[in-house]
Structure 1
Amino acid sequence: MGLRQDFELFCTATSLRGVAKTVKAPTRPLRCIWTAYVAAMAAFLVTCVCFIVTDYLSYRTVIQTTVVLNDPGLSWPAVTVCGHYPFTESGRQLWQSGQILSPTNFSRMLRAHALKMFDAGNHIGAEEILASDSKRVYYQNLEPDDAEKLSHTAQQLFIFCINATGSFMEMSSGDGCAMQLKLISLPDYFNCFQVQATPTIDSLTVVLRVTDSHHQHGADPHEQAFVQDAFQQASGFRVQLQEHDRFPEPTDRGIHVAPGKMVEMAYQPVRLIEVGSPTDACLPETIALSRRVLDLGRDFAYSQEGCLRQELGRIVLKACGCHFADLLRETPPNATHPYCGDYRRGVEPVLRSRACLQSLNLPSLRANLGDTHCLKPCHYHDFEMVSSKTIWRAADWQLHWLALQAKSFRDLAEASERLADLTASSEQRRQAEASIQSAKNSLRDFLTAKNLTAISGPQVLEPSGRDFAYITVRRQTRNTIQKTETLSLSFSALMSQVGGLSSLTLGLTCAFAVELLELCLLKRHRKKVSKASEGCAEVADNSLVPQQLQQQTGMI
């Protein structure tokens, strides 16, 4: 049987819809019509399958949003607080004594370098140097420890801290804030503090001291600088909510808090679950938890932005030999590897560092790292926030008695625990008894006071009402909005769509593959049978030859 006969037999027996009609139709025009139909449906099927597969390989995603009620895994955000005006009275004393380079001397140094270039006819170079008269470049011309000394400490910044759980409030003042404060040094704000409260509280309130409330900018002879910051100077704070222990981005993601205002930041936690794909990979949660990033010796939990800044900082340090202040600094700057904007080493090294930074093409490196080494986590949290503000009407005497109550009850609890400790020494027990008696006397003064406004001691807040900022962070609900990313076209959906199109056009099913296999096996079997038949015929022909010779010999 020839190839044509095999093809006609296959078309007659196949399960493909319309194929049998191409050979069994009674007239030639009908066979042509069915052939055209089969060809058109086959072309349509192939085209549609190509589009579907292309769509599948693009790995488009959709977001499914659900609400997790009373989420047991609810996380409390870290609150990063940065003062717009970073300097303190103790810092000014360091300027006056000459222990630390003052902003005025820094500005004079820049203007002296610019004057030399201007006299030499290099006007562009002089303009570039004058553009460095800013707070962030001044930060780079200080030793890391000196930058921290100029700015406020936690004791200077935090007036009150209140943790609220239900109707119970735990209040602390100054360095007694019952929470973890993490110092972060940033060139725009010098000392920032990240408040890391326990996740069981319902709200967190901090009352912050505004360090520039009595300082008129420019009046200090040691602070005549920062001309380029004329449109960026502000009073108050920049506050950001982010995941616990992540490196902050207050300039990009924070909000302003004005002095003398009561600001409430109500947030809704959002849990995002990404799906990893070849075109948009993400870092599994277990790996993300095991990785850390470093800045000036302080470690932080992994985040994509923190990883990018750390890796770019390594590249800049290796290529240019200096630290770029916008990136993370794994090791503190020193004489061998200073900041790229450190003019204390001269103008030429700074200009070489700038040229090196421009040649690196950091945006391109950042994009490449974001797709390879610094992947976004597959699981992370965001905080949708709504802020509102009003005037805080609390009186100074109210704060005095409230702080006294909180301290007295806390001292009573701690001293009672020490007395209950059987291993405590006699001196420790004596101190505990004295602490209990002092706390009782303080509480008795409050309970028996006839005039609560008559208080002794320094005022907590100034009458002007502009030396503080009041910030409350609270949850909107105890629910979590969970956004789960899924592929818009999964593999099962791909097979379903291809199967539906195949059934719609030609009725193509998996049985067609078995039919092709059957055709091949039948073809092979037919060849074997044909060869066997030819062999038998040849044997028969060979056996007839001797008989014919014998017959011919007998006749002779």
Structure 2
Amino acid sequence: MFTELSGGETKQQVREATEMPMSGVEHKRVKPPEAIASPVPSIRPQATGQSGASVTRTECPSPAFPDIPTRRPDMHECTRDGKSVPLKRPVVDERINTASSAFDLFCMSTSVRGMSKLRTGPRFLRTLWLVYVTSMTGLLITASVLMVLDYLNYDVTVHTRVLLDDRSPFPALTVCHHHPFSYEAAHLWRRNQILSPTKFNRYLRQTTLGMLSTADYRLYHFSLMFDTLNIYYQNLVPEDAVRLGHNTSIFWNCMRMVDYADIQFEHDCRLLTGYRIRQFSHPVYLNCHTFEPLTRRDSESITFFSLIVRMGPKESASPAEDHEQAFLPDIFEQAKGLRVAVHEAGSRPDLRKHGLHVEPGKLNEINYEPIRWKKMNTPRRPCLRPNETHQFRDLHVVYNYSQAECIELRKQEKIMANCGCIFMEMPRPKVPHIGLPYCANVMHNFTLDELVRRMGCLANHLMNVSQNSDIREACRPVCDYYDYASTISITKWRAQSWKIYWLRVQNMLLQELATAQAVCSDCRISDSPEFLRYKHYLSRESFSQLPNISELTELSPTGSIDQVIGQPSEQLKLDGDEFAYVVLKRKSDNTVEKYEKLVLSLPVLLSRLGGLCSLSIGLTAAFGVELIEFLYLLLERRRAGRRRKVKSTRRLQPIAEPTVGNTGFREHCNNRVDKGGITSECGDWKRQESDALAADPNSQISKMRSCDINSLLDSRQNLGRILDQCIRRIVSEALVEQRTAIKPYKSAACQTLRDNL
């Protein structure tokens, strides 16, 4: 640093180095105190021994520069006789355990954007960076909390894709008649075995008249409100309601196609291979029938299913014989034809939601598109994979689990428990009886007060939103299920009566021959009556002329028309409104899959958090390693400080009384000065030392001061190093303590050194 001790250029360089501003700290030249104002003794050559060899002098701290060596544990001190000995008391940095020291270490250890700017620079810039780091950290924490809460909500979105050449299970088809009464119903009403609609309407009018006669106007509209088909159904015995409805004989013919090649016709739909028919009781349509595949393998191979359905008996043209003079409010919903629904096999059909009207006398083609739903099982909205244990019962029919039916069943159980009746629109886990009737039953043990109580209780449970929300939470949706989006197209069917008849006869004869062959495998089939009837069919020249009753009777071995398989042409009702043709087919072999995905999945959450951290304060995954590094360095610093403190305590000698030349006391005073203040006893010692030096320049104190200065300024290199240490010391202390001006006692040492150069 210095190349020449004697010369104006070198001294000028030293003065410029000591006077330059340091990191924004205002440098003030302070006059050195009197204790160190005396001129520095000249540097004399070091004494040599007898051999003439130069003896190296160990550096000693100078009283004129108390601030420099007290921070250096490797420095030495001079005794009374001018000898240099190591300090017995190691220097301990008392600030290593403070919060500011830990903060400085953290700023140096972390890569967080802006943290390193908080230690250096002007106050304005440090304040600016502090505001930036604080605001960005607050923004980061707030946005991260909101993002995590959004993730824990587990919101999902529905994605759609088409699976090509993916055979889905063939759906079930439920068929109900708008006119629900069968041919047998009129005979039952005529024999008074079952209450007819006409008599039920008469009973309602008489009851209303009795209410008005007693001035009870609570249900003055009783006869109008209760004169509906579903109320009539609720006042029947469940077995009688089944007897009044249609049975499977209403279906003339069934056909199915497998893999676009194998076709099967059946005159009795119960014989259709791979299918089963389930009959259930409905409060509006009485008996409905569901055609559904038996197994999943059978359902995946079916491509086409058709039905020829009769419409049932016509309404009586004679008012005297009409047993259906009732149901006046139903005039707005009465229709002619069928009500069909396409739904998943094994499930309870919802005719209100999925029902389609089928026009009689027309070809009604129903095309469906299978939709596979895949729900996501999340903690907030869990789903269920049902099995046999989750099935429920509606009267005598068992259905598979569904969320909608689970909700309805829970409501029904509450109504049964609190109202003492069964609501006909929901699944009925128990068969109604006198002790637990339908809620609208007015025929058995009827009182007006009881009816009013039931209606009020029923309305309360149906309109209780909070209770219904609890039920919806208890019933989970199914994870995987199929839905069938169906469309119907109607056109004129140009089939002729003789074609329908002979197709039915052919199916009957073939089935009869197969049965006879199975019963008697050794018998000659040509001698059987089944073969004679089949031969009559095969040898017939024209199909346009249908056989009459007498012709069919001759073919029967006993002459009984009941044993004749087939119907004579006189009994066929093939008018335009007497039948309906229903076709159910796939649109394609493709399947539309709708599956749920999380809006904010874990990878997306991490990606967004990473972008937010990078945008705000530049926080990365390495911050975790930096935090560990900071804790490690902080712990090691505190451990080193404790070790030095223990060592200092062991080596520390008692401080002697304040006498002139006492180096231990001098070190004590220097430390007190370094802490920012000087006591009266230390000030007295300083003055005594200065007075002794002025009275006797050759005294022991003068020798010690000469020792100190000579040891510090022993060479040009030592002089440059000491001056550089002085400057750096002042700068670092001013930055750490955040002071705008250097203390006089710190700048005095460097100023004295500069003036004496």
Task: Give the conservation status (yes or no) of the 8 Å contact 1:213–1:466.
Answer: no
Is the aligned partner of 1:481 residue 2:627? no
Please, which of 12, 16, 25 is the counterpart of residue 108 of structure 2? 12
> Superposed, which structure 2 residues align to 1:339-488 within 5 Å?
339-344=438-443, 345-346=445-446, 347-361=448-462, 364=465, 365-372=467-474, 374-411=475-512, 418=518, 428-429=520-521, 433-434=524-525, 444-457=535-548, 458-459=568-569, 461-488=572-599
Query: Does the C-alpha gap of structure 1 residues 218 and 534 become closer, same or farther in structure 2, counting only changes over 3 Å?
Result: farther
Is the aligned partner of 1:159 residue 2:252? yes
RMSD, matched Cα: 2.6
Match of 1:266 in 2: 367
* Cα deviations by residue, 1:195-231 (Å, 9 ceiling, x for unpaired): 1134122111011111243545966443221122121
> Superposed, which structure 2 residues align to 1:210-359 within 5 Å?
210-215=311-316, 220-283=321-384, 285=385, 287-288=386-387, 290-344=389-443, 345-346=445-446, 347-359=448-460
Match of 1:527 in 2: 638
- Which amino acid in 1 is paired with 2:540? A
Task: Give the conservation status (yes or no) of the 8 Å contact 2:253–2:269.
Answer: no
Task: Give the conservation status (yes or no) of the 8 Å contact 2:201–2:223.
Answer: no
Match of 1:27 in 2: 122
Task: Give the conservation status (yes or no) of the 8 Å contact 2:364–2:581.
Answer: yes
Task: Give the conservation status (yes or no) of the 8 Å contact 1:170–1:406.
Answer: no
State how far apart, in whole Å, the 2-side matches of 1:43 and 1:240 are. 58
Q: Higher relative contact order at CA 8 Å, sep ≥6: structure 1 or structure 2? A: 2
Instruction: Provide runs of 4+ in structure 1 moved above 6 Å.
Output: 542-545
Query: Does the C-alpha gap of structure 1 residues 100 and 405 become closer, same or farther in structure 2, counting only changes over 3 Å?
Result: closer
Highest Rg: 1 or 2?
A: 2
Offset of 1:84 from its aligned partner? 1.0
Offset of 1:367 from its aligned partner? 3.0
Task: Give the conservation status (yes or no) of the 8 Å contact 2:254–2:269.
Answer: no
State how far apart, in whole Å, the 2-side matches of 1:380 and 1:369 are. 21
Task: Give the conservation status (yes or no) of the 8 Å contact 2:105–2:634.
Answer: no
State how far apart, in whole Å, the 2-side matches of 1:542 and 1:146 are. 117
- Which amino acid in 1 is paired with 2:468? R
Match of 1:506 in 2: 617
Does the residue aligned with 1:388 lie in a helix, a strand or coil? strand
- Which amino acid in 1 is paired with 2:461? L
- Which amino acid in 1 is paired with 2:254? C
Offset of 1:356 from its aligned partner? 1.8
> Mind listing any 5+ residue stretches in structure 2 that lack a counterpart?
1-95, 549-567, 657-757
- Which amino acid in 2 is paired with 1:456? P
Offset of 1:541 from its aligned partner? 4.5
Offset of 1:461 from its aligned partner? 4.8
- Which amino acid in 2 is paired with 1:231? F
Offset of 1:434 from its aligned partner? 3.7
Does the residue aligned with 2:521 lie in a helix, a strand or coil? helix
Is the aligned partner of 1:76 residue 2:153? no
* Cα deviations by residue, 1:7-38 (Å, 9 ceiling, x for unpaired): 122113311122212223x3233223322332
TM-score of the pair, normalised by structure 2: 0.66
Task: Give the conservation status (yes or no) of the 8 Å contact 1:11–1:20.
Answer: yes
Task: Give the conservation status (yes or no) of the 8 Å contact 1:266–1:476.
Answer: yes
Offset of 1:266 from its aligned partner? 0.6
State how far apart, in whole Å, the 2-side matches of 1:335 and 1:217 are. 36
Task: Give the conservation status (yes or no) of the 8 Å contact 1:411–1:435.
Answer: no
Query: Does the C-alpha gap of structure 1 residues 213 and 105 become closer, same or farther in structure 2, counting only changes over 3 Å?
Result: closer
Identity of aligned residues (%): 31
Does the residue aligned with 1:54 lie in a helix, a strand or coil? helix
State how far apart, in whole Å, the 2-side matches of 1:27 and 1:324 are. 82
State how far apart, in whole Å, the 1-side matches of 2:491 and 2:587 are. 18
Is the aligned partner of 1:150 residue 2:244? yes
- Which amino acid in 2 is paired with 1:298? V
State how far apart, in whole Å, the 1-side matches of 2:608 and 2:367 are. 45
Is the aligned partner of 1:104 residue 2:190? no
> Mind listing any 5+ residue stretches in structure 1 that lack a counterpart?
419-426, 546-556
Task: Give the conservation status (yes or no) of the 8 Å contact 1:288–1:377.
Answer: no
State how far apart, in whole Å, the 1-side matches of 2:491 and 2:441 are. 43
